[in-house]
Structure 1
Amino acid sequence: MQQIKLSNMRIDVIQKDIKNIHLSVYPPAGRVRISAPLRMDLDTIRVFAISKLNWIKKQQQKLLRQEREAPRECLTRESHYYMGKRCLMKVIEHNAAPRVILKHSAVELYVRPHTSIEKKRIVLEEWYRRKLKEIASGYVEYWMKKMRVEDVEYAIKKMKTKWGSCSREAKRIWLNLELAKKPKECIEYIIVHEMVHLLERHHNERFIAYMDNYLPKWRFYKEELNRSPLRHENWDY
C-alpha cells in the first residue's frame, strides 16, 4: 500500500479500477485512506489530499471526542448496550443454567455463585449472538427478495476491524458480533451493504447507486454507526 505524508499525517492510498477519487476517515483514531483510479498519479492524489486537509482534521477531532466503551467486568449496575440503548446490568446468582433476560432498560445476568468474569462474558456474548441472529434473519430474508438474490447465508463472529464482510463465491455474509449493541437501522445498513457486494464487488459508482436505491438513508445510518460507542481499536467502514 502506498502512503502520502503531509506534515505529521500519513494517508493510505489504494489505487483500483474506479472512476472517481474517494476520501475516508475511519474511527476511532482517524486513520485516513484515499481510494483513487488507477490512472491517477500520486502527485495529483497529493494535491487532492492537501485540498481536503482542513476537512480531514475536523473529522479526526470529532472521532477523538467519540465515546468509548470501558472494559466490561459484568458487574451489577454496569452499563451495557443493546440495540443502541444503554442498559444497566443486574447480576443474579442462582443454582441453575446461566441465562440472560432483558427487562426494559435492564440486562439480568443469571449465573451460578463464584462464576468467573470470563465465563460471565461468554454467557453475555452468546445472548448477544442469539439476539443478533434473530434480527439479522428477518433482514436477510427481506433483502434477498428485494435484491432478487437467492440462497444467501449469513453468520456472526467476532471481527477486529470490520462491521461485516462478504464472500461472493460462497454467497455468505459475515456480521460482527458487536452489531448487537448498535441500533437496528445500523444492523440493516451493514446487511444491505454486504449483500449489495453480491451484485457489485467494488465500492464504485454502481455500488453507490445500488445503496441509494435500496437504502436512501444509508449515509445517515453509516454516520450513526460511526458515532456510537466503540470497543475495538480499528474499524473499517
Structure 2
Amino acid sequence: MNVRINEKGEIRVSARSGLPLEEINGFIESKAEWIIRTLAAVERYNMAKPDSEIYEGKKCYYLGESCLVEIKQSDVDFIKKDEAIITIFSTQPDRRDIVKLQYLSWLKKEATTVFINSVIRMHSLAEKENIPMPEISIRNMKTRWGSCNPRKQKITLNLQLMKADLECIDHVVLHELMHFKYSNHGKEFYALIDKYMSDWKERRERLNEKYKDGI
C-alpha cells in the first residue's frame, strides 16, 4: 500500500484488492503529516516556478498575495484581478498555450507600472550617490532577479518579480541601481545598500526563500 502526490496536488492511494476500507483509512491517517507537508511543498513549487501552466483553479503569487486563477469563455480577451482572484477571460479558454501567453502579456503590462514606480522610489535614494535614472527592460528570466548595464544606463528586471511583494521588488531595484557605482559585490557595495536599506538582508532572504523555485 502506498500514497503518492503528483505535481497538481492530486493524492492517489494504491492498495491490493480486497483490503478492508478501515485498514486503508488507517494507513492514510498515519501519513497525514507527510501528506500535509507534501501538499504545501507542491503548492509553493507550482506558485513559484516560472514556466508553469495557467489553468482553472491554479494558485499563483501576485505582488506577494496568493491568488486563485479563474478562466472564463469570452468574446474578448482580457484579464481582471478582483481581490485574491485573477479572472482570465479568453476566446480560447481550452488552449493552455494561448491562455498562458495572454496571462504573461497582461502580467508584463502590470509589471511596467509596478517596476517604474519602484525605480522612481529607489532612484530617489540612489541619486544621492549621483546615480542616473536608468532605462528599464523587463524579461522573463530563469537565473536571476535582475541585471544592470551601467554603460548603457539600463537595468533589466525579471518578470517573475511580480510574484514578490513591493519591499522585495524595491530591494532588487536598489541592488541593481547601486551596481552603477560598484560593479562587484564587495564590502563597499553592500555597505552602500545597507546605508539606504538597513533591512535588505531580510528582504533578500524572504525573496529567495519564498520564491526560490521561481528563477
Larger radius of gyration: 2
Provide the C-alpha distance between the structure 1 equivalents of 2:173 and 2:211, rounded to a whole number of angstroms.
Answer: 20
Q: Secondary structure of the equivalent of 1:68?
A: helix
One of 117, 120, 136 as aligned partner of 2:115: 136
Provide the C-alpha distance between the structure 2 equivalents of 1:211 and 1:147, rounded to a whole number of angstroms.
Answer: 9
Question: 1:68 aligns to what?
Answer: 45
Q: CA deviation at 1:76?
A: 2.0
Provide the C-alpha distance between the structure 2 equivalents of 1:192 and 1:178, rounded to a whole number of angstroms.
Answer: 17
Q: CA deviation at 1:214?
A: 1.1
Residue identity (%): 23
Q: 1:104-152: CA deviations, max 9, x gaps?
A: 1100001004551111111111121122211111121232232222241
One of 166, 170, 176 as aligned partner of 1:188: 170
One of 182, 206, 215 as aligned partner of 1:224: 206
Mapped contact 1:153–1:173 kept (Cα < 8 A) = yes
Q: CA deviation at 1:230?
A: 4.0
Q: Give the structure with the larger helix fraction.
A: 2
Mapped contact 1:95–1:113 kept (Cα < 8 A) = no
Mapped contact 2:167–2:203 kept (Cα < 8 A) = yes
Mapping of residues 1-150 of structure 1, within 5 Å: 67-69=44-46, 72-96=52-76, 98-148=77-127, 149-150=131-132
Provide the C-alpha distance between the structure 1 equivalents of 2:121 and 2:61, rounded to a whole number of angstroms.
Answer: 26
Q: Secondary structure of the equivalent of 1:129?
A: helix
Name structure 1 gaps, 5 residues minimum. 1-64
Name structure 2 gaps, 5 residues minimum. 1-40
Q: Secondary structure of the equivalent of 1:219?
A: helix
Mapped contact 2:146–2:156 kept (Cα < 8 A) = yes
Question: 1:43 aligns to what?
Answer: none
Provide the C-alpha distance between the structure 1 equivalents of 2:99 and 2:93, rounded to a whole number of angstroms.
Answer: 10
Question: 2:3 aligns to what?
Answer: none
Q: Per the alignment, do residues 87 and 114 of structure 1 end up closer, same or farther by CA in structure 2, a change over 3 Å counting?
A: closer
Q: Secondary structure of the equivalent of 1:156?
A: strand
- One-letter amino acid of the counterpart of residue 115, structure 2: A
Provide the C-alpha distance between the structure 2 equivalents of 1:82 and 1:151, rounded to a whole number of angstroms.
Answer: 26
- One-letter amino acid of the counterpart of residue 205, structure 2: E
Q: Secondary structure of the equivalent of 1:225?
A: helix
Most deviating of 215-224 and 76-85: 76-85
Q: Give the structure with the larger strand fraction.
A: 1
- One-letter amino acid of the counterpart of residue 101, structure 1: K
Q: Secondary structure of the equivalent of 1:161?
A: coil
Q: CA deviation at 1:171?
A: 0.8
Question: 1:56 aligns to what?
Answer: none
Q: Secondary structure of the equivalent of 1:203?
A: coil
Mapping of residues 150-229 of structure 1, within 5 Å: 150-229=132-211
Q: What's the TM-score once normalised by structure 2's chain length?
A: 0.73
